Chains A and B, each alone.
Chain A
Amino acid sequence: MINFISYTSLIIILFLIGLQGILFNMKNILLMVMSIELMLLAINFNWVFFAFYFDDIVGQIFAILVLTVAAAESAIGLALLVVYYRIRGTISVELLNLMQG
């Protein structure tokens, strides 16, 4: 039978890895976008697992929806990144500090 604890743990660990990828990454925006993708994947995995667990189709519909949204988002994100790189010549996160309070 499906082990509920191990699946949800896997999801949470994946999500946290994505989160930490964002938080502890000071060098590269590209890695950030990838971490966001990882988090979205964890969420998707979550949808799919619970759809299966509760035997409900809505979760799978949402998973597909999130897939499309994630694809669109990463497309826009990469486009922004390219524009940014074209202007600044670097993609270092450290130097993204023009907007301080």
Chain B
Amino acid sequence: MYLSIILLPLLSSLLCGFLGRFLGKEGASIIAPFNIFVCAILSWIVFFEVGLSGSCCFLTVAPWIYSESLYISWGFLFDSITCIMLIIITNISFLVHLYTTSYMEADPHKPRFLAYLNLFTFFMLILVSADNFVQMFVGWEGVGLVSYLLISFWFTRLNANQSAIKALIVNRVGDFGLCIAMFLIYYNFKSLEYEVIFTLTPFRAFENIYFCGIEVDILTIISICLFIGAVGKSAQLGLHTWLPDAMEGPTPVSALIHAATMVTAGVFLLVRCSPLIEYAPLALTIISIIGGSTAILAASIGGFQYDLKKVIAFSTTSQLGYMIFACGLSKYNVSMFHLANHAFFKALLFLSAGSVIHSLADEQDMRRMGGLVQLLPFTYSAMLIGSLSLTGFPFLTGFYSKDFILELAAIIRYSISSSLQASFTYWLGCLSVFFTAFYSFRLLFLTFLNKTNISRPLIYGVHEAPLKMLIPLIVLIFGSIFLGYLAKDLFIGAGTDFWQASLFVYPTRVLIIEPEELAVSYKFLPFFLSLSGIVFAVITNKIMPLLSLKLQVTSLGRTLTFFVNKKWFWDKLNNDLIVYPLSRFGYFIGLITIDRGLIEFLGPYGISRLLSQWARNIIRLQTGQLVHYILFMVICLFILVNLNILHDIHNQIFDSKLISLFFCIYVYLAL
């Protein structure tokens, strides 16, 4: 049962991929969702066995790499974290599959698409269920690969290909960090299996090694390298630029990969490695600061985007920032809780956005939408519930996880162990609540509530999505409303024993009862901030749209809006400071100067040129004049005759002889 969860998606992926032309669209759209559905059922059973009944499951299938002290096996570990991830992955994936069968109805390459989606599910399952780093890395790279394949699914589009390459390469930067982390782990622990590493971690805490010639704490450097991996995959500050561009793929892809599952792999990595990271306070500080910065940066950018999907993509980046910074505050269970909740309401948002886009004949620009509330009432209510859940509206799913993260941050800020980075992340988190509410409702206004900007021919075609697209939305609506309430005690309830040994929090950083003692004003602050965000969105869109327009066209307002709309020029900075200089370096230094220049000059090209030059010089000696020939003959005769004498003389000064001989030859040939 445990293995069939992993292998069924692979099986159906191979079926849809290799036999797609025989199965046809209909066959593929039966096989692929059905397999994932079975997986989903099985993963609920796993959840019951592992999560609720508390029996972890280790499966060692086969040895893989077996050399001296390096022993890596194909092993599967099902513990609390894994079973939660299994629930998220298989259920969201099933809903997205179901949605896809209808959404991609007109696409000629539907079997291929379903094969990719299945393959993605397989790799994601490998990632979360691995019991060692190398097998986890298989899944890690696999989801990156499938992300590439899916973003460039419409491979005839230039943008899609560019975005896919960007996603793959930016991810690879993070993967490099993860690789280094794995090397360091093997170097220090002589093993790559989770249980060995995490058991040994306390014994290696606060020891130093030399890394790149600098003496550093072992666990700190490992944690930072792991975090670099997470930064790439979870689109944190610095490497976040790939996620918004990944919206070039079809909408179900965005929903499955770039909202619910793949981007959470980074968070999963941090949560999985919690026993290691907990011993590295400096790394935790860095993680929380980067996470908080990502939250505010992405949230502020999201408020000024005009592409429907990009707004939601930036919202994803922002929420991932929340998760990461919850990890940085050592609240891994809260991070996992937010991850699970976010998967549901973000999938809901994306699928609703897909429904809107679908009914508007692939129009994604929010400025050409509006007034859809009468035409698409169901999609509107789905989007509204998703947005309210996202903004952390009380008693919806987002409220239980997101506000709890902020409460914890507030607790840490006002506790005796308060530090600058705690208040930094706290205020960043609070501010991004405001922005989150603002962009969510701005999206709702621009798409559904404002006066319409849709062209007349499109209006007639607007229709609510077919049933197969509505069912996933309905399920996700229920998830977005009730999941947080239902699962709160399981994930973050005081004294919950659900996590067992899969999470570790350093005893001085455990906070169980303190959040309940927080002052009411701090508990209410996020709610008021999100409410003010909503009010701000109402003001700028409904009450005084002209005033906000006037503010925007002042020179300061225009500069500011432009600055934020262009993603704080982060892409431009990346391009100007890193990408373009590197590619110029590669072209001018690497290719032109060294490969095609120096090596060719010293190698074949230069030598052949030199030889022909010398040959031409020697040929020029033969003038055709009889007298010259005789002169050379006489000179050569003299040299030959005198060679013996010269030899005797130059035996004592051999070097100068050789040098003078070469010099004479050179001067002669260079004539």
Contacts and interface: CB of A to CB of B under 8 A. Distances in A.
Q: Do A and B bind each other?
A: yes
Interface of A: 19, 22-26, 93-94, 96-101
A93 B627 contact: yes
Nearest to B625: A97
Contact of B619 (A19, A94, A96, A101): A101
B624 A22 contact: no
A99 B626 CA distance: 9
A3 B634 CA distance: 29
Contacts of A101: 618-624
A97 B634 contact: no
Contacts of A98: 624
Interface residues of B, number: 13
A100 B625 CA distance: 8
Nearest to A93: B626
Name the residue among A25, A26, A93, A100 with the largest chain B CB count within 10 angstroms: A100
B577 interface: no
Nearest to A24: B627
Contacts of B619: 101
A19 B623 CA distance: 20
B625 A23 contact: no
B630 interface: yes
Contacts of A25: 627
Contacts of B621: 101
A23 B630 contact: yes
B631 interface: yes
Given A19-B634, A23-B634, A100 B627 contact: no
By Cβ-Cβ distance, the 6 closest A-B pairs, closest first, are A101-B622, A100-B624, A97-B624, A101-B619, A96-B626, A97-B625
A37 to B, nearest CB: 16
A4 B439 CA distance: 118
20 contacts: A22-B627, A23-B627, A23-B630, A23-B631, A24-B627, A25-B627, A93-B626, A96-B624, A96-B625, A97-B623, A97-B624, A98-B624, A100-B622, A100-B623, A100-B624, A101-B618, A101-B619, A101-B621, A101-B622, A101-B623
Contacts of A24: 627
A43 B282 CA distance: 100
Contacts of A97: 623-626
Interface in B568-622: 618-622
A32 to B, nearest CB: 8
Contacts of B627: 22-26, 93
Contacts, number: 33
A96 B618 CA distance: 20
Contacts of B622: 100-101
Nearest to A25: B627
B464 to A, nearest CB: 92
Contacts of A96: 624-626
Name the residue among B621, B623, B626, B631 with the largest chain A CB count within 10 angstroms: B626
A52 to B, nearest CB: 25
Contacts of B623: 97, 100-101
Contacts of B624: 96-101
A100 B624 CA distance: 4
Nearest to B629: A99
B665 to A, nearest CB: 18
B373 to A, nearest CB: 94
A97 B626 CA distance: 7
Nearest to A100: B624
Contacts of A99: 624
A70 B634 CA distance: 20
A96 B622 CA distance: 13
A29 B352 CA distance: 107
Given A22-B630, A23-B630, 6 more contacts: A93-B626, A97-B625, A97-B626, A101-B618, A101-B622, A101-B624
Contacts of B618: 101
Contacts of B630: 22-23
A67 B648 CA distance: 37
Nearest to A19: B634
Contacts of A23: 627, 630-631, 634
A99 B629 CA distance: 11
Contacts of B620: 101
Contacts of B634: 19, 23
Nearest to A96: B626
B635 to A, nearest CB: 10
Contacts of B625: 93-94, 96-97
Nearest to A20: B634
A93 B621 CA distance: 17
B578 to A, nearest CB: 58
Nearest to B622: A101
A14 B625 CA distance: 25
A98 B630 CA distance: 16
A79 B630 CA distance: 21
Nearest to B621: A101
Contacts of B626: 93, 96-97
B410 to A, nearest CB: 94
Nearest to B623: A100
A98 B204 CA distance: 89
Nearest to B631: A23
A24 B625 CA distance: 12
Contacts of A94: 625
Interface string B92-136: 000000000000000000000000000000000000000000000
B15 to A, nearest CB: 76
A24 to B, nearest CB: 8
Contacts of A26: 627
A28 to B, nearest CB: 12
Interface in B545-588: none
Nearest to B634: A19
Interface string B336-353: 000000000000000000
A26 B630 CA distance: 12
A98 B624 CA distance: 6
A23 B634 CA distance: 9
A80 to B, nearest CB: 13
A20 to B, nearest CB: 10
Interface in B618-651: 618-627, 630-631, 634
A100 B620 CA distance: 9
A19 B635 CA distance: 12
A19 B637 CA distance: 13
Nearest to B620: A101
A83 to B, nearest CB: 16
A93 B629 CA distance: 12
A43 to B, nearest CB: 14
A77 B509 CA distance: 114
Contacts of A93: 625-627
B618 to A, nearest CB: 8
A94 B626 CA distance: 8
Contacts of B631: 23
A29 B622 CA distance: 20
Nearest to A97: B624
